[in-house]
Amino acid sequence: MESSGDKLSKGLIALMAVCTGLIVANIYYCQPLIVLISKSFGVAESEAGRVAFFTQAGYALGLLFFVPLGDKLERKGQILWMTGCAVLSLSFAAVAPSLWSLEVACLLIGATSVIPQLILPMAAHLASPARTGKVIGSIMSGLLIGILLSRTLSGLVGAWLGWRGMFWVAAGLSFIMLVVMRRAFPVSVPAFTGSYGSLMRSLGTLVREQPVLREAASINALGFATFGMFWTTMVLHLSGTPFHFKSDLIGLFGLAAAAGALAAPLVGGSADKRNPRIAIGYGLGLLFFSFILLYIFRGSVVGIIAGIILLDLAMQCVHVSNQSRVYALILGARNRLNTVYMTVSFVGTSLGSFIGLYVWERAGWTGVCVAGMVLASLAFIIFSATYRKTKNVKSLAV
């Protein structure tokens, strides 16, 4: 079993949070740029919106095939190699001559930007068990702020330098992170010594033997589906009637969501002291209510901002608490546990983007909000149905 001594200083935790935020942003930069991309290639906005789907699908593939290696390879080295590949993928996107080549580039961007899901298990390994949840929450704050502010940065840069300029900026930021992480991150050697094949086969074993993992991944997938659906279609909603906003203004809505990210350390700290399922239940209720707000106030900027803040707070309650539960199951298999958990989650995000575009074309914003409420309800049904089964295995889950 891996050692779990507390080897994380506050400065290193802060640096990990910054790195995760700046790198995970790579998979969200494309969303405020959809309108600009559609005009650049002369295609419909819904067709250009596929770049968001391909980016998230690539992320799911990266989670499945690359993140498990964190239980086998030296983690710092893998993080550096993956970051270098992300720089190349972003540069490819910046020079893409056609929409299909941009979609390929976005698939590669997603697959190579899984570095945050390598940093989080590293941090969980280096932290003492008594504060694992708090450390995860702190780093998740950086990750979530990166996700949300990526849209603000992308909107502003897109309006100023165009969508290609945004990909060049992203490549530069990732290169800077590569240099910083090479200097500052500690070496972290895992304990798994088997082959890659046995490593991948063990994923199925974990799914079969860990009911908490199945429950957490299922709930999170539905939550992430609402998240992906909202942020993909929000661009279309705000660029049309009655708003007619440009990409720079649309990007500013990410600032509202970033406010909720400050709650992640509090949620993580709570998970260290109490049953994290409590926060998950409240989060699912807030998720449902956020789509009610977004529907009722669909023509109001203030109403949409309130819905965004509530949506983000809800997702943090669900995601940070579920991730704390998953990391506590088997200390030596954190990367593989995270692989299953996050792969299923981002499959949910990809499907959410697809569902959002499909519903948008047929029922507009009303259809999106109703679909969000349906997905949140399905997640709560799973949460309720599994409560009796999981409350008796609290020692494994928390």
pLDDT digits (tens, 9 = 90+) for 122-146: 888 787 777 777 787 788 778 878 8
Task: Report the run of H or E that residue 175 belongs to, with start and end.
Answer: helix 132-184
> What pLDDT shows up at residue 141?
78
The runs of H, that is alpha helices, within 187-300 are 196-209, 211-239, 247-260, 264-273, 277-296
For residue 366, count other CB atoms closer than 10 A to its CB: 12
Ramachandran bin of 81, using left for φ above 0, alpha for ψ from -120 to 50, beta for the remaining angles: alpha
What is the full per-residue pLDDT of the chain (398 aa) written as tens digits? 344 445 678 889 999 999 999 999 999 899 889 989 999 999 888 789 889 889 988 988 998 899 888 888 888 999 999 999 999 999 999 999 999 999 999 999 999 999 998 998 888 878 777 777 778 778 877 887 887 788 889 988 998 999 999 999 999 999 999 999 999 999 887 777 778 888 889 999 999 999 999 999 999 999 999 988 998 899 889 988 889 888 778 777 877 766 666 665 666 555 555 677 888 999 999 999 999 999 999 999 999 999 998 998 898 889 888 988 898 898 778 889 988 998 898 889 888 988 998 999 999 999 999 999 999 999 999 999 987 655 544 433 33
> What pLDDT shows up at residue 120?
87
Rounded to whole angstroms, how far apart are CA atoms 71 and 77? 13
φ and ψ at residue 73, rounded to 5 degrees:
-95, 160
Rounded to whole angstroms, how far apart are CA atoms 380 and 204? 25
Rounded to whole angstroms, how far apart are CA atoms 120 and 264? 14
Dmax over CA atoms of the chain, in Å, equals 59
> What pLDDT shows up at residue 80?
96
8 A C-beta contact, residue 139 and residue 123? yes
8 A C-beta contact, residue 178 and residue 353? no
- What Cα–Cα distance (Å) separates residue 159 from each residue in 40, 129, 135, 166, 232? 13, 46, 36, 9, 18
Residues 6+ apart with CB under 8 A from 180: 15, 19
> What pLDDT shows up at residue 105?
97
Question: Is the C-alpha dihedral spanning 176, 136, 218, 364 positive or negative?
Answer: negative
Residues 6+ apart with CB under 8 A from 166: 29, 33, 153, 154, 157, 158
Tokens 């349906």 belong to residue: 374
Length of the chain: 398
8 A C-beta contact, residue 226 and residue 372? yes
Rounded to whole angstroms, how far apart are CA atoms 347 and 343? 6
Q: How many CA atoms does the CB half-sphere of 104 hold within 13 Å?
A: 9
The model's pLDDT over 67-91, given as tens digits with 9 standing for 90+, comes to 888 888 888 999 999 999 999 999 9
Rounded to whole angstroms, how far apart are CA atoms 391 and 3? 28
Question: Amino acid identity, residue 343?
Answer: T
SS3 344: helix
